[in-house]
Structure 1
Amino acid sequence: MPGQTVREIMTPNPVCLPSSATVVEAAEQMRANNIGDVLVVDGMALTGIVTDRDLVVRAIAPGLDPRITNLAEVASPGWVAVGPDDSVDKAVTLMRDNALRRLPVTNERQEVMGVVTLGDLAMDQDPHSALSEISEAPPNK
């Protein structure tokens, strides 16, 4: 749909944790909410993103203790975000250019408003695609 905004397809109210939260806390939130990422915040302002892959590659594989390792230590360096009133095309371009599967949505004060995922885009852009069908399927338990 031409002129469509990020606000129309984003997932609002994503799970956010402070940078002082531990790897275990992030993993628990991911499991409880059937998600693959948490946004890292300072107050309401986005400071980073941590994915399930980050937990494995940056915490578990090097042998860090997940009970005491905080998210600031394992968050993906340098995050990219989009605004809620930006076009979906801009979100697609940012995700493509930065090889992202998830894109935080922030306001002008960098406060978290939502997140756009590849699944959100697939369901919006091509609801009959394989990726869209996979995204709509219930998670494995």
Structure 2
Amino acid sequence: MAQFVRDVMTPDVAAVLPDASLVEAAQLMRAQDIGDVLVTQDGVLLGVVTDRDITLRAVADGVDPLAVSCRSVCTPEPVCVGPDDHISEAVTLMRTNAVRRLPVVENGTPVGVISIGDLARAQEPDSALADISRAAPDSWPDVGNGGPGIL
């Protein structure tokens, strides 16, 4: 069984610059079938923006997602783990801070992300959460500018 964050993290880091629009972040999330992107500049982690951040901190307030930067809605200075930290440390941090994802940082540079789904697949592979995390992404019909349509 995996013991360290590096064993279960997603090593590919999806990142945007702080001045990227929320639309750019959302398009990257859609293209990579992920729910968050790191906000970085010059290889330094500045924050994390999630699909929920975009929805609740911008769209729900009627803000134009083309005109708003990721910096303005991201969670700055997010809680992080290192790749050599024990999985139990990631679990504790997620539970204590009520987060579903943690950036994985090594020597100040983001090297991955570990999610609650990654942990479920590693620690409880037969659980419902692990099954959901392994499932293929939903496919939405293209409507208008490629957004989800009404089914």
TM-score, length of structure 2 as denominator length: 0.89
- For residues 109-132 of structure 1, what are the alpha-carbon distances to aligned partners after superposition, in whole Å with 9 as ceiling and x for unaligned? 2x1100000110000001000000
C-alpha separation in 2, matches of 1:140 and 1:37: 16
**1:42-57 maps to which residues of 2 (within 5 A)?**
42-57=41-56
User: Counterpart of 1:64 in structure 2: which amino acid?
Assistant: V
1:59 CA displacement = 1.0
Residue 99 (structure 1) aligns with: 98
C-alpha separation in 1, matches of 2:80 and 2:107: 11
Any unmatched runs of 5+ in structure 2? 140-151
**1:1-141 maps to which residues of 2 (within 5 A)?**
1=1, 4-109=3-108, 111-141=109-139
1:92 CA displacement = 0.6
Any unmatched runs of 5+ in structure 1? none
TM-score, length of structure 1 as denominator length: 0.95
C-alpha separation in 2, matches of 1:13 and 1:105: 11
Name segments (4+ residues, structure 1) moved above 3 Å.
Answer: none
1:57 CA displacement = 0.6
1:77 CA displacement = 3.9
C-alpha separation in 2, matches of 1:85 and 1:131: 24
User: Counterpart of 2:129 in structure 1: which amino acid?
Assistant: L
1:63 CA displacement = 1.6
Percent identity for Structure 1 against Structure 2: 50
1:64 CA displacement = 1.4
Q: How many residues align?
A: 139
Which protein is bigger by CA-based radius of gyration? 2
